[in-house]
Structure 1
Amino acid sequence: MSLKIAIIGGGSSYTPEILEGFIQRQATFPVTEIVLVDVKAGEEKVDTICQLGNRMIAEAGVNIQLTWTLDRRSALQGADFVSTQIRVGGLAARAHDERIPLKHGLIGQETNGAGGIMKAFRTIPVLMEIAEEMQELCPDAWMINFTNPAGIVTEALLNHSVHKKVIGVCNIPFNMRHSTAELLQAAPEDVLIRFIGLNHFIFGDKVYVKGEDRTADVFQKLLQKELDYNPANIMPLDWSETFIKAVRLLPNPYHQYYFQTPSVLEKDKQAYQENGTRAEVVQALEESLFALYKQESLRKKPEELEQRGGAFYSQVACQLMDSIYNHKEDIQTVNTWNHGAIPELPYDAVIEANCVITKQGPKPISIGEIPAPVRGMIQNMKAMEELVIKASISGEYEDAYNAFLVNPLVQDEKKAKLVLDELLEAHKDYLPQYNRM
């Protein structure tokens, strides 16, 4: 029996992660064919990844056919799962997303604030095309979307594309669970954090180990500065004792952009002056990674890959595919339709939540009311996400302006226009919906 995976954006430096995940799961998730897909500009990278991948497969002694192509339609034909990990415009576009807002005294970050909105504008139309092709060529396949901003992109696809078998994934809940497990000296599979909120804006309100409530222990450790689950792309900042005691929620690393904005902005400015944008740092890191990937003696994922901010995402993506394929009905944290799990949010909104994973897809576990200290912020973030999706599809300037204006990291009517105009000009080659005149 064949099991085909198509990886869109296969030339990404992350790809050895997901290949390793498939190799390790051959006993339960017997992949027989993997096709890496990329665009012409990524041809050399995807070829390098494919060669490394085939060395990894040979070293493991598993029977997987790994190839690459620039023909997306041929890769999608008959696929059972499609993993999407694209970056429209590459790291050069990311640099604009970071540099231009920072120039105007705003947070410059690839998935939050003005930069995150622009990434959605570039990304959603391309993934809508992929979804249409999937509905034609592999209608039963699940799209596992890792492309950021993952929650916004997933909602756009679920509510506006013809293909509905779409699930968004993120490594932040994975990092939080594993770091918490280490803190409590427990096995990660025994730890369950109840998450509430949206992608890159989730909170944990309860922590259980084998069903025992250990929330108080975790908050005590957090107060003692013993808990750190920041990915490599986000500099850690301490949370005050007052914040932890008052809010009584586990923040995720991205919350510092919203609750510690001035401090983050100063750190970002300093980092930019010393090392350039994070995109430029990643470009240098990727050069060294691909130099490693080309070494014929390398037959496994290098440890240096952990320096990338999305490290370990394959654990999330591969585990999800494995659970769908085997109808495991285990609990995982993914981005999917709300369907009443959070009553204060729209029924068809996408949330990041604990779900029971079945062959039919994720079933969100009811959360109940959003805690009062963060209720308004989560509702505001969801309203902003809806505006971003509308603007990504409509190509109307006023829609884009509204998305910028409502975003908590902008919320300045004059700066919103200045930054939007500069970013639209910088990204005009990747925004056909805004270049119709």
Structure 2
Amino acid sequence: MKKYSIVVAGGGSTFTPGIALMLLEQSHRFPIRKIKFYDNDEKRQEVIAKACEIYFKENAPEVEFSYTTDPKEAFTDIDFVMAHIRVGKYEMREKDEKIPLKYGVVGQETCGPGGIAYGMRSIGGIIELIDYMEEYSPNAWMLNYSNPAAIVAEATQRLRPDSKILNICDMPVDIEEKMANMVGLKSRKEMDVQYYGLNHFGWWHKIYDKEGNDLMPEIKKHVAENGFAGAISETNQHVEASWVDTFRKAKDVFAVDPTTIPNTYLKYYFFPDYVVEHSNPEYTRANEVMEHREKNIFKVCNEIIEKGTAEGAPFEADAHASYIVDLACAIAKNTKEKMLLIVPNDGAIVNFDSTAMVEIPCIVGSNGYERIVQGEIPRFQKGLMEQQVAVEKLTVEAWIEGSYYKLWQAMTLSKVVPSASVAKSILDDMIEANKGYWPELK
């Protein structure tokens, strides 16, 4: 049986240990010979990687493990790149969230001005990873789940259209688990879904069980009453109060169009006034993560390193991230699994921009993906998506051309921004905050 070599790009992420352990747990279906961590922040990666190294020696000595900041070493002899980078780390995320809030605008890492700012930082980093992969392991595939996925996917399609990269997001996976729970199924894999939209901006319009029974009425009833709250115990990633509120608020998002089931992120676009009113401009989601997840994971890693053993340490596999292995298996073993990917529309949504990077179900095999046509979409969703896809395309064009005006236009078009003057004030503050991360704008 073939064994695979993987590099995790973003080796210093607090999510990396959970992904590494998940890979080990799934090795019965996706055997691994080598795992490498790669990061450009040596000090940060050192702590995460040393703790994982101890764990691997004790629990999977047959797997070759290493970590490096050298691209050649990291990207040579690999089959898959699993990319989850955060350019600027949580310090810059904090600015993405707090600068818009200063002007009474939603401060969120993938939506509105915060998402645009994060996208402008991420494009160069992802393109760099693709180029390393193609130079040192030209037959490898990149599975990218770095945010903001919509802008990153648009940039990779524009700048590296022939590269072997698949862009995927965990949010629909999480919501589908909740929906499966609502109808008494053990797993989202027992459902057959139809979905259309952009990343963090989409709708489920058909959901069946494997016998073909329509599950939408029962799911709609739950969402109408509770949103996604109470459907399942929240995963490790989503336990904070801000996520609980997001899952509950889905009830109000659903009410705007009760014919479909919405992605939770639509809360930010439909109810920006509510979001701003319930935000603390001094303490945002970035602060939550830095105070809790960051401190806890690094504390555990340092304890493992000090003791020299991972025995008894609260290291847990991120079962929620097993969708990444589903995707890798689909490519490696040609399983033809149906998964939601972010891909060029090219007619899958009949009445929508063919060049847009849309999130839709695809059949995934060793030669990539085949789109599943979603047909025509309603005017309401189409209008929202046209506006949002324009924001994403203008952001990527601003990065490529170094255009101040295109980025100003992107921020002005964003549904959460009230006017061009507010957009300009936020943009000027963002330019100052992102010196060294963004290309120079003229």
Residue 272 of structure 2 is aligned to residue 261 of structure 1: yes
Residue 377 of structure 2 is aligned to residue 370 of structure 1: yes
CA contact (8 A) 1:170 1:313 kept: no
Which string of whole-angstrom CA distances, capped at 9 and with x for unpartnered residues, describes residues 272-325 of structure 1? 45xx1221221122012210122225458847x89xxxx755222222112211
Residue 124 of structure 1 corresponds to 123
Residue 440 of structure 2 is aligned to residue 434 of structure 1: yes
Which string of whole-angstrom CA distances, capped at 9 and with x for unpartnered residues, describes residues 98-147 of structure 1? 11100011001111100100111111022122222222222221111111
2:437 & 2:254 partners in 1: Cα distance? 41
TM-score with structure 2 length normalisation? 0.90
CA contact (8 A) 1:334 1:352 kept: yes
Residue 94 of structure 2 corresponds to 95
Q: Secondary structure of the residue that 2:29 maps to in structure 1?
A: coil
Residue 215 of structure 1 corresponds to 216
What is the CA-CA distance between 1:17 and the residue it aligns to? 2.0
1:47 & 1:410 partners in 2: Cα distance? 40
Amino acid corresponding to residue 63 of structure 1 in structure 2: E
What is the CA-CA distance between 1:263 and the residue it aligns to? 0.9
CA contact (8 A) 1:11 1:38 kept: yes
Which string of whole-angstrom CA distances, capped at 9 and with x for unpartnered residues, describes residues 22-60 of structure 1? 102212211111110111xx3233222223323433444
Name stretches of at least 5 consecutive residues in structure 2 with no aligned partner.
Answer: none
Residue 260 of structure 2 corresponds to 249
Aligned CA distance change for structure 1 residues 295 and 83 (closer, same or farther; 3 Å): same
Residue 139 of structure 1 corresponds to 138
* Match for residue 343 of structure 1 among 350, 369, 380: 350
2:332 & 2:133 partners in 1: Cα distance? 18
Residue 32 of structure 1 corresponds to 33
Aligned CA distance change for structure 1 residues 226 and 147 (closer, same or farther; 3 Å): closer
Residue 406 of structure 2 corresponds to 399
Amino acid corresponding to residue 362 of structure 1 in structure 2: Y
CA contact (8 A) 2:174 2:320 kept: no
Aligned CA distance change for structure 1 residues 301 and 119 (closer, same or farther; 3 Å): farther
1:135 & 1:280 partners in 2: Cα distance? 37
Q: How many residues align?
A: 424
Q: Secondary structure of the residue that 2:262 maps to in structure 1?
A: coil
Q: Secondary structure of the residue that 1:429 maps to in structure 2?
A: coil
What is the CA-CA distance between 1:15 and the residue it aligns to? 0.4
CA contact (8 A) 2:22 2:322 kept: yes
1:34 & 1:242 partners in 2: Cα distance? 41
1:59 & 1:79 partners in 2: Cα distance? 24
What is the CA-CA distance between 1:62 and the residue it aligns to? 5.7
1:306-345 equivalences under 5 Å are 314-345=321-352
Q: Secondary structure of the residue that 1:367 maps to in structure 2?
A: coil
% of aligned pairs identical?
29
Residue 249 of structure 2 is aligned to residue 238 of structure 1: yes
Q: Secondary structure of the residue that 2:297 maps to in structure 1?
A: helix
Residue 204 of structure 2 is aligned to residue 196 of structure 1: no
Aligned CA distance change for structure 1 residues 74 and 242 (closer, same or farther; 3 Å): closer
2:11 & 2:177 partners in 1: Cα distance? 27
Amino acid corresponding to residue 80 of structure 1 in structure 2: D
CA contact (8 A) 2:198 2:358 kept: yes
Amino acid corresponding to residue 166 of structure 1 in structure 2: I
Aligned CA distance change for structure 1 residues 89 and 245 (closer, same or farther; 3 Å): closer
Q: Secondary structure of the residue that 1:140 maps to in structure 2?
A: coil
Residue 292 of structure 1 corresponds to 300
CA contact (8 A) 1:4 1:79 kept: yes
Residue 185 of structure 2 corresponds to 186
Q: Secondary structure of the residue that 1:143 maps to in structure 2?
A: strand
- The answer to which of 166-175 and 133-142 deviates more is 133-142
CA contact (8 A) 2:253 2:266 kept: no
1:316 & 1:301 partners in 2: Cα distance? 25
Aligned CA distance change for structure 1 residues 298 and 391 (closer, same or farther; 3 Å): same
Amino acid corresponding to residue 294 of structure 1 in structure 2: N
CA RMSD in angstroms, aligned pairs only: 2.3
2:54 & 2:158 partners in 1: Cα distance? 40
TM-score with structure 1 length normalisation? 0.91
Name stretches of at least 5 consecutive residues in structure 1 with no aligned partner.
Answer: none
What is the CA-CA distance between 1:80 and the residue it aligns to? 1.0
1:330 & 1:157 partners in 2: Cα distance? 23
Q: Secondary structure of the residue that 2:32 maps to in structure 1?
A: coil
Aligned CA distance change for structure 1 residues 63 and 268 (closer, same or farther; 3 Å): same
1:83 & 1:134 partners in 2: Cα distance? 11
Residue 353 of structure 1 corresponds to 360
CA contact (8 A) 1:194 1:206 kept: yes
What is the CA-CA distance between 1:220 and the residue it aligns to? 1.1
- The answer to which of 199-208 and 294-303 deviates more is 294-303
